[in-house]
Structure 1
């Protein structure tokens, strides 16, 4: 999707989010930091769906919480409709959250089991003083009907609903204030496959009907491919490749993206047999002590000495359009096969650098 600055809804500029590791009982001192998000640049345009994929621990959910204001950023800034939201006051943050909402991964843990569904969905109206009494009940029941729930179940508790229905309750709550952006943090990973399809189709229908913009985080690459206009691939706190969805799935340029996509399930057994499967050796390095240079080099089948000493920029590589940047010195060429090749350059240590007494 292309467009000018007027189409730009969210701009993430050089965002870092580090979590300190402290030691001590009375006087706590910082001994290390978890580099959860480490210099991310992203743009989200109005009406599109940006998919974010990567292994567990790569920083996807932390980045999502930074965008929604749930985590303060360590460094960098996030612009929403051109305004910097990283230093908002409490009142400013409350107003900002009318435009940005989140659908959480766990449809069980994200709903208070002691409160009735009508009260849960109606919370945004109560917090922002937009409706009360009969008007609030009417609006809540309209939202329930919009997401495929029976409005007559207004007074039921979450335990009386299935997992898919509970996630629809979460969707209804996120839609209450008609936000401009919804961050979906793995919204279908805890659901059965058949229910996943229903929730994804619901989100697609709501996007077309209400003009929503999504940031969609998921582990299931086939789901991301189905829903996303653009896809960003994260590894160890950084975006290593970003492109239009079909371009990325057809010809990934970063070796990590190629390995990740090769693990995606394929419905056609003949196509699955022909597909290349790239098996990465080794574990993801510790985010407390990330590798120098390219962070993927200890596991990369194409790594060379330059990858150890020089951190690659996230820029378009030769032959790629401006919309397809890749952080790799030696990107995957069309038709190149990586299966059977193993990393030849290992990192010296993936353990955090802690004081001697803590080893």
Structure 2
């Protein structure tokens, strides 16, 4: 039996209090830990069967690390991950490996240039002892046809394919064992815009045809809006906001989400001209020494004293639907102009202080 979400849909993956810290060590002979990178720091998340969960955030916020923890590539420092109600250990078994696959960001780096495409796509069959010989070749060619590649190119090397075709090879490899969950780690960011659309549409078609569940990581918010049923916004190792995609894009509640959406591209030039751009001041803090309490407060236009002393809880605020969760003491209200508030903060930080000389 799988767990049941409170807001509907079977929970395929549940992340509970996930932490992933990378130690920084010094020393030549005897190394000792001097600090830690807080890549993922207390994340709670659910992925429902058949949906696409988008994860967005700035570079270094922990998206890819979280994805690798969910797939078992990185063991958690603390917390646990449940797949179909069963806890995933530090060394996942073969059943889990069959059910959870990953599509990597760089189609040039994720394929061995010295191996033929047929061997690359067929590796899962060999590793799991499912098919070999003529049967393996037949299955690989079926996969190639499924993702829009010519099955006759079975014996070609990756260098003989374009970037978009190489990513299709990665998709075919991920599909080989008919997994239940595929983690897409920025699968289109290295591709041209026209090719991005083809790969995204391919992924959506495959999801409908095979009943797949996706975790989709991307920087492009317009892409995430198009493919996702729900969206989780990450900032410096934590979830800042989590909601249905339509709800989050229409009514962002966290100031960080609001700033991200203000920078997203809009196809309609008239709408783009009306949008108020929020320019965040300051750099992203170091994950080695993150700010106390709310990690966004040093850059937040709504920050108050409470934000630097008490960490906000990821909850549904008054007026929000049950599954629109925001980790903010002072969430954004409808119609509130954060651009003006941010401009005021920037002006105050640059104006000289007037004083009386002695």
Q: TM-score, normalised by structure 1?
A: 0.93
Give how far 1:6 is off: 7.2
Count of aligned residue pairs for this structure pair: 343
Query: Where does residue 114 of structure 1 map in the other structure?
Result: 114
Counterparts of residues 262-273 of structure 1 (less than 5 Å): 262-273=262-273
Query: Where does residue 103 of structure 1 map in the other structure?
Result: 103
Q: Is the 8 A contact 1:281 1:343 kept in 2?
A: no
Query: Where does residue 224 of structure 1 map in the other structure?
Result: 224
Query: Where does residue 133 of structure 1 map in the other structure?
Result: 133
Check if 1:22 corresponds to 2:25.
yes
Write the distance in 1 (CA, Å) between the matches of 2:222 and 2:161: 27
SS of the equivalent of 1:179 reads coil
Q: Is the 8 A contact 1:222 1:264 kept in 2?
A: yes
Counterparts of residues 216-295 of structure 1 (less than 5 Å): 216-295=216-295
User: Mind listing any 5+ residue stretches in structure 2 that lack a counterpart?
Assistant: 347-358
Q: Which of 38, 46, 71 is residue 35 of structure 1 equivalent to?
A: 38
SS of the equivalent of 1:201 reads helix
Give how far 1:293 is off: 1.1
Q: 1:271 to 1:176 in 2, by over 3 A?
A: same
Query: Where does residue 215 of structure 2 map in the other structure?
Result: 215
Give how far 1:94 is off: 2.6
Q: Is the 8 A contact 1:218 1:224 kept in 2?
A: yes
Q: Is the 8 A contact 1:303 1:344 kept in 2?
A: no
Q: TM-score, normalised by structure 2?
A: 0.93
Q: Is the 8 A contact 1:302 1:343 kept in 2?
A: no
Give how far 1:341 is off: 2.1
Give how far 1:86 is off: 3.0
Give how far 1:342 is off: 3.0
Q: Which of 43, 47, 50 is residue 44 of structure 1 equivalent to?
A: 47
Q: 1:6 to 1:302 in 2, by over 3 A?
A: closer
Q: 1:87 to 1:5 in 2, by over 3 A?
A: farther
State the Cα deviation string for residues 301-357 of structure 1 (Å, max 9, x = none). 0000000100000011111111001000000000101003239999xxxxxxxxxxx
SS of the equivalent of 1:19 reads strand
SS of the equivalent of 1:340 reads helix
Query: Where does residue 351 of structure 2 map in the other structure?
Result: none
SS of the equivalent of 1:50 reads strand
Q: 1:343 to 1:33 in 2, by over 3 A?
A: farther
Query: Where does residue 146 of structure 1 map in the other structure?
Result: 146
Q: Is the 8 A contact 1:13 1:78 kept in 2?
A: yes
Give how far 1:2 is off: 6.6
Query: Where does residue 191 of structure 1 map in the other structure?
Result: 191
